[in-house]
Amino acid sequence: MEALQQLLNTRTDIWRGRVQPPTPTVSTGQSALDQRLPGHGWPCGQLIELQPIHVGCGELSITWPLLARQTQRGQPVMLISPPLIPCPQAWAQAGIDLTRLWIVRTQSHSLWTAEHALQSGLCGVVMVWSNSTRLTTTHLRRLQLACEYGHAPCFLIDSDVNRPVTTFSALRLTIAPGPTVTLTHTRRAQPLKSNTLKLTPRTLSAS
């Protein structure tokens, strides 16, 4: 029975009445963060919204371990319209295989590109910056649907204060310098308890 349960848990496409199968997750690479997230990791094949207060206040330090793992496994990682230039020396030092890192330099077609990259199901991770695009609920829903084609988590990074309140994403995290991560939305019914986590550089390196 145990084995059957485990087997069923790996499938999201079998209806099991009221029992909600847990979304498969991948470890963030940081145990402190893993413990706070539902499912103890980044949900696979789901949209994750990251909302840094300023550009570069920690959105990379929480995603780098995953990017490094995926590129080392030979999975391509796509950065779509990053706001600044990724410094190759620093990314390589973080363990990211630069031969698997694709940067898409586009301003107007970033969401289109993300949707296609996700639908192909070939990317290890997709990170998309909305930049000046004003996000709507439709955008979020389309990206979430595209995510479900593959197993890659998709990180949507926006600093827009006027973002829609309703969301279709699996997680929404606000990031303040530090980085201090606040979980502001999950799909779980129970209220979020102690949802703010300060990740000091020590917790990051200890993992």
Partner 1 sequence: MSWLGLYFCSSQDHEQWPQTQQWIARVAYEYSDQLTWLDQVTLVVEIQKSQKLYATPETLLTHLTETLRPLRQQYRLGTAPNPMAAGLMARLGTRCDNQASLMNVLDHCPIDLTPLPDQAQKSLYRCGIDTLGAFNALPIDQRVRRFGQAINLHIQKLYGQQPTLIEPWHPQDQYYRRIDLIDPITSKQRLQHYLDKACEELKSWLIKRNQALTAVMIRCKYERPGSANQSDLTFELTLAKPSFDQQHLKALITLKIDQLTIERPINGIVIQCESTSQHTPSSNDLFDRNQQQGDWPQLLDHLKARLGERAMTGISPYPHHQPEHAWRWRQPDQVNDLDDAKHRPSWLLPEPVACHRDQLVLKQGPERIETGWWDNNPCQRDYWIAQEPNGRTLWVFHEHKPRMGWFIHGIFG
Q: Can you read off the two tokens belonging to residue 76?
A: 């391509």
Q: Which is nearer to partner 1, 69 or 109 (CB)?
A: 109
How many C-alpha atoms does 195 have within 13 Å on its Cβ side?
16
Are 129 and 20 a contacting pair, CB within 8 Å? no
**Three-class secondary structure of residue 93 per DSSP:** helix
Element (H, E) at 146: helix 137-147
Q: Which is nearer to partner 1, 37 or 126 (CB)?
A: 126
Please report, as residue ranges, which positions from 41 to 70 form the binding site for partner 1 (by CB under 8 A).
53-61, 64
Cα–Cα separations (whole angstroms), residue 155 to 40, 46, 51, 90, 198: 17, 9, 10, 20, 20
Task: Return the residue of 35, 72, 93, 196 that touches partner 1, per CB under 8 A.
Answer: 93
Q: Which is nearer to partner 1, 22 or 201 (CB)?
A: 201
Q: Can you read off the two tokens belonging to residue 60?
A: 């990379």
Are 183 and 50 a contacting pair, CB within 8 Å? no
Task: Return the residue of 177, 188, 198, 206 that touches partner 1, per CB under 8 A.
Answer: 177
**Interaction mask 96-125, partner 1, x per CB under 8 A:** --xxxxxxxxx--x--xx--xx--xxx---
Q: Which is nearer to partner 1, 22 or 83 (CB)?
A: 83
* Residues in touch with partner 1 (CB under 8 A): 53-61, 64, 76, 82-94, 98-106, 109, 112-113, 116-117, 120-122, 176-178
